[in-house]
Amino acid sequence: MSEQKGMFGASGTGDTSGYGGLVRAANSPTSAQRPYGSYFDDVADELERAFPEFNDAIEKVVVDRGELTLHIKRERLFDVAKTLRDTDTLRFEVCLGVAGVHYPEDKSRELHAVYELLSMTHNRRLRLEVSVPDSDPHIPSLVEVWAGTNWHEREAYDMFGIIFDGHPALTRILMPDDWPGHPQRKDYPLGGIPVEYIGATVPAPDNRRSYR
């Protein structure tokens, strides 16, 4: 994630407070080192055993706030997902959904798809994250692995424009079919309406001064 400049979201004004020059780097969690702790080592070990191309498929492993995230190359996503579901010692039989996230500053990895997995057999959770460039927003569909991702992938397509290759019917799901653009991308405006009072207006939420 990008660094943040200033404090009040406004620039070019006569800011004499000095806070305008503040630069803060946002510290995203970095790649974790072994041992990961909890059941995370077991999951990594078992996946490595069941999936020989493990090192090629996994971009990084993040352990943060008691949660395990595997960043996976999109070419390997389908095979990793199948392995996670079918291996006895892993058995992530439920995919709880797909959430898109748009990071415009993360160059050539702008669009992320985040999968929350659940193993009821072993009572474990796991997160998969796949990132693709804006110019080539293709990710293999996991509907064949978990049928329940069908609507979730349609939602991520609708809201972020991520194209899930192999999806049986990738159409918009929440927005009308002829809607232009993908509303939850960061470059899509909120479209707020200012609140008017007699003699004054309060700007719409997306135009208000924000305290970063």
Partner 1 sequence: MSTFASSRETTEGTIYSVTGGDWDQVASEIGSAKEERVVVNMGPQHPSTHGVLRLMLELEGETITELRCGIGYLHTGIEKNTEFRTWTQGVTFVTRMDYLSPLFNETAYCLSVEKLLGITNDVPERATVIRVMMMEFNRISSHMVALGTGALELGAITPMFFAFREREKVLDVFEKVSGLRMNMAYVRPGGVAQDLPEGTVSHIRDLVKDLRKNFKDNADLLIGNSIWIKRTKDVGYLDLAGCITLGVTGPVLRSTGMPWDLRKTQPYCGYENYDFDVITADTCDVYGRFLIRMQELEQSLRIIEQCCDKLDALDGAPVMVADKKIAWPAQLALGGDGLGNSLEHIRQIMGTSMEALIHHFKIVTEGFRVPAGQVYSAVESPRGELGAHLVSDGGTRPYRVHFRTPSFSNLQSTSAMCEGSLIADVVAAVASIDPVMGDVDR
Count CA within 13 A, CB hemisphere, residue 98: 30
User: Does residue 60 touch partner 1 according to CB under 8 A?
Assistant: no
| C-alpha span between 59 and 110 (Å, rounded) | 16
Helix (H, G, I), strand (E, B) or coil at 81: helix
Min CB(52)–partner 1 separation in Å: 26
Residue number with CB closer to partner 1 (78 or 146): 146
Min CB(172)–partner 1 separation in Å: 8
Residues that contact partner 1, how many (by CB under 8 A): 52
| C-alpha span between 152 and 97 (Å, rounded) | 6
Q: What is the DSSP string of 146-188?
A: -TTHHHHHHHHHHHH--EEET-TT---SSS-TT--S-TTSTTS
User: Does residue 38 touch partner 1 according to CB under 8 A?
Assistant: no
- Could you say which of 104, 133, 181, 205 contacts partner 1 (CB under 8 A)? 205
User: Does residue 210 touch partner 1 according to CB under 8 A?
Assistant: yes
User: Does residue 20 touch partner 1 according to CB under 8 A?
Assistant: no
- Could you say which of 32, 50, 96, 163 contacts partner 1 (CB under 8 A)? 96
Count CA within 13 A, CB hemisphere, residue 139: 36
User: Does residue 174 touch partner 1 according to CB under 8 A?
Assistant: yes
List residues binding partner 1 (CB under 8 A). Answer: 1-2, 4, 24, 26-29, 64-67, 69, 93-97, 99-102, 114, 116, 118, 120, 123, 125, 127, 146-152, 155, 172-176, 183-184, 190, 192, 205-206, 208, 210-212
